[in-house]
Amino acid sequence: MNRIFIAFVCISSSLLAQDKVAYQLYNKEGKQVGYQKMISELAKADVVLFGELHDNAIDHWLQLQVTKDLYKINPNLTLGFEMFEADDQLVLNEYLNGIIEERHLLHEAKVWDNYKNDYKPLIEFAKTNTLPAIATNVPRRYANLVSRKGIETLANVNDEGKKFMAPLPIEIDLQLPGYASMISMMGSHGTPGSADNIARAQAVKDATMAHFILRNLRGGIFIHYHGAYHSKNYEGIYWYLKRANPNLKISTIHSVEQESIDKLSDEHKLTADFIICIPSDMTKTY
């Protein structure tokens, strides 16, 4: 009986001693890597593409931590956001420069519903440290135009509107696996050609975000926050950046959820330079 009791105590103590890890970092090959190792590698890049899961609390916390730690290494830091559309730049700048109050930013810019929980800390960090924050996304009305009527309709947008998108004509390769997969998943829905147009609208977003990243490089580090699909497998924004400047040093971060984070699933390997693996039951921000 004593032996059984001792064994029970030992097992219980062992279980209690195990850490409950909120996330695990992996490199592209699926090998576990430390946070500081990732930061030291990111600091060598011209552009860091941080692909997030929009509703994931750990992702948003890590975005802030990575931003703070890169700033310590290189204060010449620029922040870029899928979550702000290019025609919101004036309002965003006015807020960052203290000209308008937050209520004006929230009312006049097309901020996402989860702004206060998830992106406000990054904007406030930029404001406190006088860092540029760039609205990189194409206005949603133009992405919607492409998804409804095709890429050629962008030619009908007036010159003022064209300032808020990548220069026309936009090169689009629907054979890229990410876009092809999107078309395949949606191919059975809607009218013929609609899935192609939705993929083209995604490409317009990717091209526009890359365009505004390139326009705002200042010789330091540009860190860009966006949905994970926009840079997964070195496609999307990454593809457009490399097409424009093959010598650009880019580091990518991709985010995934798994029931167990002890080992990275094969399907998630090679998706980015660093993969944030998060428990699937992690708290969601919305």
Question: Tens digits of per-residue pLDDT, 165-188?
Answer: 999 999 999 999 999 999 998 865
Is 202 among the domain residues? no
Is 193 among the domain residues? no
Q: What is the domain extent for residue 38? A: 20-137+217-279
Specify the DSSP class assigned to residue 251.
E
Cis-peptide into 169, omega within 30 deg:
yes
Please report which confidence band the pLDDT of residue 271 belongs to, taking 50, 70 and 90 as the band edges.
very high
Which tens digit of pLDDT belongs to each residue from 24-47?
999 999 999 999 999 999 999 999
State the Rg of the chain over Cα.
Answer: 21
Which tens digit of pLDDT belongs to each residue from 98-136?
999 999 999 999 999 999 999 999 999 999 999 999 999
Phi, psi of 124 (to 5 degrees): -65, -35
Is 211 among the domain residues? no
**pLDDT value of residue 186:** 83
Mean pLDDT score of the chain: 93
Specify the DSSP class assigned to residue 278.
E
Please report which confidence band the pLDDT of residue 20 belongs to, taking 50, 70 and 90 as the band edges.
confident
Could you tell me which of 177, 251, 246, 172 has the C-alpha nearest to residue 206?
Answer: 172
Is 200 among the domain residues? no
What is the count of structural domains for the chain? 1
Specify the DSSP class assigned to residue 56.
B
* Calpha distance 78→132 (Å, rounded): 5
Is 257 among the domain residues? yes
Is 116 among the domain residues? yes
Which tens digit of pLDDT belongs to each residue from 137-146?
999 999 999 9
pLDDT above 70: percentage of residues in the chain: 91
**pLDDT value of residue 173:** 97
Tokens 């969601």, residue located: 284
Query: Looking at the predicted structure, is the pLDDT value of residue 7 above 70?
Result: no
**pLDDT value of residue 4:** 45
Q: How many Å from the N-terminal Cα to the C-terminal Cα in the chain?
A: 51
Residues 6+ apart with CB under 8 A from 9: none
Helical H segments across the chain, by residue range: 2-17, 35-42, 57-73, 89-96, 102-108, 120-128, 140-149, 159-162, 177-186, 194-215, 237-244
Q: Can you give the CATH number for the domain in which 61 is found?
A: 3.40.50.11550
Is 258 among the domain residues? yes
Which tens digit of pLDDT belongs to each residue from 205-241?
999 999 999 999 999 999 999 999 999 999 999 999 9
Query: Looking at the predicted structure, is the pLDDT value of residue 57 above 70?
Result: yes
Is 1 among the domain residues? no
